[in-house]
Structure 1
Amino acid sequence: MTGIIGMLTGLALIVAIGAQNAFVLRQGIRREHIGAVVAVCMVGDAALILGGTAGIGALVTRFPEALEVLRWGGAVYLVWFAIRSFAAALKPSGLHDEPPRSKGSVVATTVALTFLNPHVYLDTVVLVGSLANQQGPDLRWVYAGGAVAGSVLWFSALGYGARALAGVLGSPRTWRVVDLVIGIVMLALAVKLVLH
């Protein structure tokens, strides 16, 4: 039961729309380096969750300056991502009409979207790590394992399940709307990071 609660907690924290999920969805629809994208997201979440369970959350809490640097870096990156989304919305093309990106470029973007978001540290390292440690020494790793399993399920479903949406979401008109929404969400997240 502890593992299931951990999984549900992990899912509750990562399912919300954000830059990372939007990028995973986009790459899944494009069928472009999706294995690498999903792997980076899963490994990143697992490392942060397990690190928080091992006690890194106390370190992050002790040195809030690290989160400040991530907060401002994340805000700048989100604004840049929003500008790119708005530019794409102005000259929409079907996802399959866009030139392919290199695997290195896609992986670098995934890493940035994963680790430049200070909320990921608060959610995984501090919150999930704290909740896992409240389970006691015998069950904390079961709880953390459940949270990691939730991450694996989500990113696999989002990345590989996006293929089923390729027909619906592949048109230029649809992606104009999607890019506008993504741009607005990214700007809102950047403002939220700066103000909080």
Structure 2
Amino acid sequence: MNLLSAAFSGFALGGSLIIAIGAQNAFILRQGLIRSHVFVLCFICALSDALLIAAGVGGLGTVISQSPLLISAVTLGGALFLGTYAVMAFRRAAKPGVLVAGAPESMALKPAVLACLAFTFLNPHVYLDTVVLLGSLSAAYHGAERAAYGLGAATASFAWFFGLGYGARFLAPVFARPAAWRILDVLIGIVMSMLALGLMVSFLRGG
């Protein structure tokens, strides 16, 4: 396994986890639509993810890597979790929703930042996705490969939030239609399924 492969795995998993209908994405889309504090808010979201990913990869991943049994348990758990996530994505594709951006009203920088932090850190799934899942699965990598994996996952966050924030004016009409989310969720489901299958194969081979 090389650095590029590790970075791509981190990017693919990080991207798959972050791209979903949710309050945080809806907030960033809304701010992007009205072009209000876009850079600051996108940077806060992406940096928050990067810090949480670093904590998981640098701390939790190190602890797990010291126990082969724990690695196997995490690998199996990760496969089951990703498989479940894939099923959820396919179910969302069957009954797609829409991403509601909200009314085109601007707000001052301070309340916008506070709202952004609340959407980020008051969401329990952000810890599951970054610290627990991404951090635990980093145990499959060592040294520079682990760093590349974490960097890939963090890069996915930066790419998504800045792409969403600055591309909002183009994305909003598209993702206001259920069909667009159906296609996106199908793609997410496929990626999750492939990652889950890879982890399951690794588990069956004994890591």
TM-score for the superposition, normalised by structure 1: 0.63
CA contact (8 A) 2:60 2:136 kept: no
Matches within 5 A, 1:2-151: 2-56=6-60, 95-96=103-104, 98=105, 100-151=106-157
| Residue pair 2:53, 2:130 contacting (<8 A) in 1 also | yes
Letter in 1 for 2:16: A
Pair 1:159-2:165 in alignment = yes
Secondary structure, in 3 states, of the residue corresponding to 2:142? coil
SS in 1 for 2:8: helix
Partner-residue secondary structure (3-state), 1:32? coil
C-alpha distance in 1 between matches for 2:137 and 2:157: 16
Change (3 A) 1:165 1:130: closer
CA separation in 2, counterparts of 1:19 and 1:95? Answer: 14
Q: Percent identity?
A: 47
Q: Is the 8 A contact 2:164 2:171 kept in 1?
A: no
Query: Which ranges of structure 1 fall in alignment gaps of 5 or more residues?
Result: 59-93, 178-196
Per the TM alignment, residue 134 of structure 1 is displaced from its structure 2 partner at its CA by 1.6
Whether the 8 Å CA contact 1:28–1:159 is kept in 2: the answer is: yes
The runs of at least 4 aligned residues of structure 1 exceeding 4 Å deviation read none
Aligned residues: 135
The change in CA–CA distance for 1:165 and 1:121 in structure 2 (over 3 A counts) is closer
Deviation at 1:133, TM superposition (A): 2.2
Determine if contact 1:15/1:154 at 8 Å carries over to the other structure: yes
Report how far residue 14 of structure 1 moved: 0.2
The 3-state SS of whatever aligns with 1:16 is coil
Per the normalisation by structure 2, the TM-score is: 0.60
Query: What letter corresponds to residue 8 of structure 1 in structure 2?
Result: A
Report the RMSD for the aligned CA atoms in angstroms. 2.4
| Offset at residue 110 of structure 1 (A) | 0.3
Q: Give the conservation status (yes or no) of the 8 Å contact 1:29–1:165.
A: no
Distance in 2 (CA, whole Å) between partners of 1:165 and 1:142 is 30
Q: Secondary structure at the match of 1:13?
A: helix
Whether contact under 8 Å (1:30, 1:95) holds in the other structure is: no
